[in-house]
Amino acid sequence: MAQQDYYEVLGVARTASDQEIKKAYRKMALQYHPDKNPDDKKAEEMFKAAAEAYQVLSDKEKRQVYDQYGHAGLKGGSGFGGFNADAFAGFEDILGDFFGFGRSSGRSRNRPRQGRNLEQVMELTFMEAYEGVEKKSISIRKNEECDTCGGSGLRAGATRKNCGTCGGVGQVQVQSGFFAISRTCPNCRGTGQLTDPSDRCRTCYGQGQVEKESELKVPIQAGVDNGMQLRVAHKGEPGQNGGPPGDLYLHIQVQEHEYFHRKGDDLYASVPISFSQAALGTELEIPTLKGSEQLKIPEGTQSGTKFRSTGAGFSILGRPHRHGDLYVTVVVQTPTKLGKRERELYKELAKIHSEKTNEEKSVFQKVVDFFN
């Protein structure tokens, strides 16, 4: 079933600003929220569709990918992931701020959240992709838990204090006509707690995380190809409030080979031969990724003839010791500089070929005359 365009779901133009997208989402969330439409499946679906659309379009990076590649760009192992239940945590802050309802009591910001996924290009040589690598070293920069404060964001001995505005619940009641509406506390932003600036960790400045460069060793299977994506679980950025770390997605980029061209599991190559080798036949020693092997060229071989060497191609991913085939195309080279003796011999050959051609024409003419 085709997925509906996210811009159409929210009823905004593709050029809509962040504020217009946010406003459209708030309107739909208020209209279709399950708390206002109990046991209404259609309203529930509309609410989820709006939340999914907002999750993508409110994220600059995801929106850019969606604008370029559509839903396909956000699927599977693309590194951006799909819509998930944890996304409601962020939406409830918006809903609570404006409408006073949600699944939590204003502390959704304090719930465990998975860390951000990371993406990085990993370059491999042609032979690394062919043979595989037991442990490929890569260097990555990412936010990691602060060693000084252990991720708390506080200096040693310091503690967070309950917010005096909301009493630690993360929400405040605002009277609107006959209704009392709950909104996210503007003082603590829904956390229910405050940290005095003097109590913040001096290393991470209260963030609980610092950017570090680290080395990671990743096993690479033989047979990987350009454009493939490798997911390394739990090697993304650390989670928040005790949540699990995100994942690392490595985009495989394989360097070209100077002689072989790869198509799937098969390899292709060209080998030059002379006129005499093509006419008389010969045996050539050709390179393969396993070593060299002999290729027999029969006499009368034409330029562009393709020969197949079974099992001499590229490694097949997930099938150890299995390989594709190698296809070798012979290219008959025309000499550009002739010596005196060579010129005489080619002239003699040209004369012989001319006589043969005349004889063939004569026979052909007899056939034509017969039918006429």
Q: Is residue 148 marked as binding?
A: no
Give the Cα separation of 236 and 304 in Å (integer).
Answer: 50
Would you state the structure tokens that stand for residue 224, as one six-digit string?
A: 């990987």
Q: Is residue 77 marked as binding?
A: no
Q: Is residue 186 marked as binding?
A: no
Q: Is residue 121 marked as binding?
A: no
For the chain, how are helix, strand and coil distributed in percent, rounded to 5?
Answer: 30, 25, 40
Cα pseudo-dihedral 281, 282, 283, 289, rounded to 10: -80
**CB within 8 Å of 81: residues ≥ 6 apart:** 74, 117
8 A C-beta contact, residue 238 and residue 231: no
Give the Cα separation of 225 and 304 in Å (integer).
Answer: 27
Would you state the structure tokens that stand for residue 347, as one six-digit string?
A: 């002239």
Token pair 């701020």 in the structure block, residue: 97
Q: Is residue 24 marked as binding?
A: no
Q: Is residue 241 marked as binding?
A: no
8 A C-beta contact, residue 329 and residue 271: yes
Q: Is 343 helix (H, G, I), strand (E, B) or coil?
A: helix
Token pair 């009591």 in the structure block, residue: 105
Q: Is residue 132 marked as binding?
A: no
Residue 305: Cβ-neighbour burial (10 angstroms; 0-12, 13-18, 19+): middle
Strand partners, 182: 173
Among the residues of 58-202, which ranges form H helices? 60-69, 87-98, 126-131
Give the Cα separation of 95 and 71 in Å (integer).
Answer: 26
Give the Cα separation of 261 and 328 in Å (integer).
Answer: 11
Q: Is residue 163 marked as binding?
A: yes
**CB within 8 Å of 55: residues ≥ 6 apart:** 62, 83, 87, 90, 91
Cα first-last separation, the chain? 66
Binding residues for Zn(2+): 146, 149, 163, 166, 185, 188, 201, 204
Binding site per annotation, positions: 146, 149, 163, 166, 185, 188, 201, 204
